[in-house]
């Protein structure tokens, strides 16, 4: 076990531990490449956007670099692997900015969101800059013909993320809950899991790993991302604003089809207050907390958690063919930490 206190440590502390222990030699080049990638934008970025990079957990680039080291070992990584990790973080920041615009969120990690601080128009353009610069970084990291497939994978990932965001907005909550649950997994794959799949697959590819190993790592990453998405759904119902940086129950308030809400809707039936709210009935004063309590009293919460844990365990199984190493073990521990951490 390479990650201490996985059941209680916040995600940012665990990721910081990975960077401090296993990726210590990659931190300086990562910071240097990030500064280089942000330099052309210096006239357009404010402290709000810089805070997203400065205070981010860097979970996705950590997955990329751990996957790279899983096949490369402790020797210095190729420059392109670290460049890819930086580009991945920029792609993630772009999705955060756009998520906050869509959700009209005033806060991100307890700080003002970009759209709250600078307005929607500026936030859209700043988010677009991060997307474009991320893709430029991946293209610049390519130094051999066999890496070219990675460019297509990056572009496909960016496309899938956009489709996932649109799918979420277009969800018709009047559909049968069973169909909504099927749609949830499809949307989660595109909106969240695909970026973790890119992280793990790109890490192996940029470290000159075999194509089959890269694909297997990608499957690991997607299951890791699925587990993380479901746990985020659960935390939305469990954490208060002090712990998450946003009010509890925002998915319910915004009529978002999170997995525990869909399971609760299925269990409670179409005429229950929670189901009616999800289909558009307005909430009265204090109604949100009551509905959250009603959802948590169903089996939906535990069913969703069981699904998240299944995804994490399947992710771990996908790593078994890789040689035993502290980097593989760290990825396994990370999958377990995602589902074992306390709300």
What CATH number corresponds to the domain at position 214?
A: 1.10.600.10
- Please tell me the pTM assigned to this model: 0.93
In this predicted model, what pLDDT tens digit does every residue of 67-79 receive, in sequence order? 999 999 999 999 9
Please give the average per-residue pLDDT across 202-231, as a whole number.
Answer: 96
The answer to whether position 236 is within a domain reads: yes
pLDDT > 60? residue 4: no
User: What is the chain's mean pLDDT, rounded?
Assistant: 90
Please give the average per-residue pLDDT across 84-107, as a whole number.
Answer: 91
The answer to whether position 206 is within a domain reads: yes
pLDDT > 50? residue 283: yes
The answer to whether position 257 is within a domain reads: yes
The answer to whether position 197 is within a domain reads: yes
How would residue 242 be classed by pLDDT, with cut points 50, 70 and 90? low
The answer to whether position 262 is within a domain reads: yes
In this predicted model, what pLDDT tens digit does every residue of 262-281 receive, in sequence order? 999 999 999 999 999 999 99
Rounded alpha-carbon distances, angstroms, from residue 180 to 12, 56, 226, 259, 264: 32, 32, 16, 9, 12
Please give the average per-residue pLDDT across 41-48, as a whole number.
Answer: 93
As for how many domains the chain has, the answer is 1
3-state secondary structure of 84: helix
Rounded alpha-carbon distances, angstroms, from residue 128 to 114, 151, 174, 240: 13, 18, 33, 31
**Residue 18, domain extent:** 11-340
The answer to whether position 158 is within a domain reads: yes
Please give the average per-residue pLDDT across 160-169, as a whole number.
Answer: 91
The answer to whether position 4 is within a domain reads: no
The answer to whether position 1 is within a domain reads: no
Residue 300: what pLDDT? 95
Residue 1: what pLDDT? 40
End-to-end CA distance of the chain: 22
CA 172 – CA 168 distance, rounded (Å): 9
Please name which of 250, 225, 260 lies closest in space to residue 339, comparing C-alpha atoms: 225
């Amino acid at each position: 076990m390479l990650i201490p206190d996985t059941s209680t440590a916040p995600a940012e502390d665990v990721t910081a531990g990975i960077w401090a222990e296993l990726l210590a030699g990659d931190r300086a080049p990562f910071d240097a490449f990030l500064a280089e990638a942000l330099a052309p934008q210096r006239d357009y970025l404010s402290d709000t956007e810089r805070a997203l990079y400065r205070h981010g957990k860097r979970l996705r680039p950590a997955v990329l670099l751990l996957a790279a080291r899983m096949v490369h070992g402790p020797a210095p990584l190729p420059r392109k692997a670290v460049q890819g990790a930086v580009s991945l973080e920029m792609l993630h920041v772009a999705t955060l900015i756009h998520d906050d615009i869509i959700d009209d969120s005033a806060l991100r990690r307890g700080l003002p969101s970009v759209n709250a601080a600078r307005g929607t128009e500026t936030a859209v353009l700043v988010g677009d800059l991060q997307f474009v610069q991320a893709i430029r970084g991946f293209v610049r990291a390519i130094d051999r013909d066999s890496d070219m497939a990675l460019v297509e994978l990056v572009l496909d990932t960016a496309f899938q993320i956009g489709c996932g965001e649109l799918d979420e907005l277009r969800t018709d909550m009047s559909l049968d809950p069973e169909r909504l649950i099927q749609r949830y997994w499809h949307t989660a794959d595109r909106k969240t899991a695909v970026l973790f799949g890119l992280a793990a697959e790109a890490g192996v590819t940029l470290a000159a790993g075999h194509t089959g190993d890269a694909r297997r790592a990608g499957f690991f990453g997607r299951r890791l991302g699925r587990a993380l998405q479901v746990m985020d759904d659960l935390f939305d119902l469990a954490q208060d604003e002090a712990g998450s940086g946003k009010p509890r129950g925002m998915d319910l308030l915004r009529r978002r089809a999170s997995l525990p809400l869909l399971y609760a809707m299925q269990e409670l039936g179409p005429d229950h207050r929670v189901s009616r709210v999800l289909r558009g009935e307005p909430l009265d004063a204090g109604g949100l907390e009551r509905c959250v309590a009603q959802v948590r009293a169903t089996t939906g919460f535990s069913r969703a958690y069981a699904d998240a844990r299944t995804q994490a365990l399947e992710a771990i199984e996908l790593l078994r063919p890789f040689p035993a190493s502290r980097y593989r073990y760290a990825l396994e521990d990370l999958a377990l930490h995602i589902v074992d951490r306390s709300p």
